[in-house]
């Protein structure tokens, strides 16, 4: 690798839009790698920018850092990934992203309806949870997790 193919942490920060502290964190987590100059300064290969773009995109849609790390470990560390290697990662993420889209759409649609009723109380909500009937199905946001809403008589809402 030629010297001009290496970027300082400041250059990586400027090009990626990430703070230097975030870059150091991602390096500590093994998502990216650097070499050191004789004086101890970090130098990153130019292809690090693609890895960081992938990390930012995945995090923006709410994917876990562990999942991102697992995917990045399948890529070569010493060179920029090929189009085919990126496509392989894309195929593994497609189902997960489709599920995430469904969850986000459900959240968007149901949250608007719930907040829109004005009561702001799932324990006493006459519209979605009469008599706190959702408590028998478990903890957490039962309806937002996809459970069917029912009236107190057990009929679909």
Together in a domain, 76 and 107:
no
Together in a domain, 106 and 77:
no
Q: Which residue do the tokens 């599920």 mark?
A: 99
Together in a domain, 13 and 73:
yes
Domain presence at residue 59: yes
Domain presence at residue 142: yes
Note down the domain range covering 107.
Answer: 102-157
Domain presence at residue 96: no
Query: Does the pLDDT at position 28 exceed 90?
Result: yes
Domain presence at residue 9: yes
Domain presence at residue 136: yes
Mean pLDDT of the chain: 81
Together in a domain, 71 and 15:
yes
pLDDT tens column, 109-134: 777 666 656 565 666 666 666 777 77
Together in a domain, 11 and 56:
yes
Give the number of domains in the chain: 2
Domain presence at residue 15: yes
CATH number at residue 37: 1.10.1660.10
CA distance linking residue 16 with residue 10, whole number of Å: 10
Domain presence at residue 88: no
- pLDDT value at position 117? 62
**Cβ–Cβ under 8 Å, residues 60 and 54:** no
> Which pTM value belongs to this model?
0.66
Together in a domain, 69 and 131:
no
Q: Residue 13: is it exposed, middle or buried by C-beta count within 10 angstroms (0-12/13-18/19+)?
A: middle
Smallest CA-to-CA distance from 152 within 131, 135, 138 is with 131
**Cβ–Cβ under 8 Å, residues 27 and 55:** no
**Cβ–Cβ under 8 Å, residues 44 and 32:** yes
Domain presence at residue 35: yes
């Amino acid at each position: 690798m030629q010297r001009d193919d290496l970027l300082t942490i400041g250059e990586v920060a400027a090009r990626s839009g990430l703070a230097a502290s975030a870059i150091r964190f991602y390096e500590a987590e093994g998502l990216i790698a650097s070499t050191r100059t004789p004086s101890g300064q970090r130098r990153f290969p130019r292809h690090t920018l693609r890895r960081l773009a992938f990390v930012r995109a995945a995090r923006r849609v709410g994917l876990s850092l562990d999942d991102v790390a697992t995917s990045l470990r399948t890529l070569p560390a010493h060179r920029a990934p090929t189009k085919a290697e990126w496509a392989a990662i894309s195929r593994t993420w497609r189902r997960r992203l489709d599920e995430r889209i469904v969850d986000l759409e459900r959240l968007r649609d149901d949250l608007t309806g719930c907040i829109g009723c004005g009561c702001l109380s799932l324990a006493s909500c006459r519209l979605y949870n009469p008599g706190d009937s959702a408590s028998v199905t478990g903890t957490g946001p039962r309806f937002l997790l996809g459970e069917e809403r029912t009236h107190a008589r057990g009929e679909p809402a």
